[in-house]
Amino acid sequence: MNQLDALRQWTTVVADTGDFKQLSISKPQDATTNPSLILKAVQKPEYRPLLDEAVKKHAGKPLDEVIDRLLVRFGTEILSIIPGRVSTEVDARLSFDTAATIARGERIVALYKAEGIDTEKRLLIKVASTWEGIEAARQLERKGIRTNLTLLFSFAQAVACGAAGVQLISPFVGRIYDWYKKSAGANWDEAANAGANDPGVKSVRQIFAYYKQHGIKTEVMGASFRNVGQIKALAGCDLLTISPELLAELAASNEPLQHALDAKAAGADIAKVIYDEAGFRFALNEDAMATEKLAEGIRAFAADAVKLEKLMQESGK
């Protein structure tokens, strides 16, 4: 049994890609996308026609709507290949606007429904884990719209998401690792901070333990991996979303894989935490890594959304 098949025994494997033609190789249960992945895909010759088609078919409509239609086109293609759910992201530029995030999420759902997709079972709307994003997700969930809270770097964000009753969270393992490695500089010891000692892995383990201990039903999906060691250290997490490159690396290895996380033995006792808005903002502010990576992530996704718009404008000329 290769490591990818071994991982599937305990964890739902999710592909983190907009390149849907790769999905038949790794055979994931679910798939996640984001603006950067879609931008990367449409710059490939085999996917550029999808962008050109969306622009031509919906000429005259607002650019943000055409982008949503392109995202949904990719999502429906992905759903034709995988048996589970696809995550489609709301524009990161709306990360601090609850009402606009709700409206955009509802529009994406309506577009999927128009394609005949059972959105309650097969779609997750990705929203940034800001206070405003979490509140938008709370309201979307009440309407039967399932959400995936992304750009999550801190325990405080995870606590607030669990309290809001969101379907799933995506803690960014690799970006947490990146911050601590950069911060340590020449003092970074890769061996000492690998596996279970990796700061990104430790963050997910804490969140996983807290959710399981307090009966929080929100699913935990580790994301943004830099190496297979991080993935192996989280074997047993509810879900893991993994790039095609790392999925291939796991599939190529027949080394034994241990069950690292167990919901029945989730870890140390962690007291229940409740945040109001002020408490959440202060807790997030106290975490320099999470504050910086959240802002950086929103900026990066917003920049890629702008690049995607420019490609569409060029296509329409």
Contact 149, 166 (CB under 8 A): yes
Strands (DSSP E) found in the chain: 12-16, 30-32, 86-89, 123-128, 147-152, 168-171, 219-222, 239-242
Smallest CA-to-CA distance from 247 within 1, 28, 19 is with: 28
Distances (CA, A) of 258 to 64, 125, 126, 191: 45, 32, 30, 19
Contact 124, 156 (CB under 8 A): no
Q: Distance (Å, rounded) from C-alpha 277 to C-alpha 125?
A: 23
126 assigned to active site: yes
The active-site residue, picked from 126, 212, 232, 293, is 126
The residues, any chain, with a CB within 8 Å of residue 235's CB and separated by 6 or more, are: 6, 7, 10, 11, 257, 258, 259, 260, 261
Residues carrying an active site annotation: 126
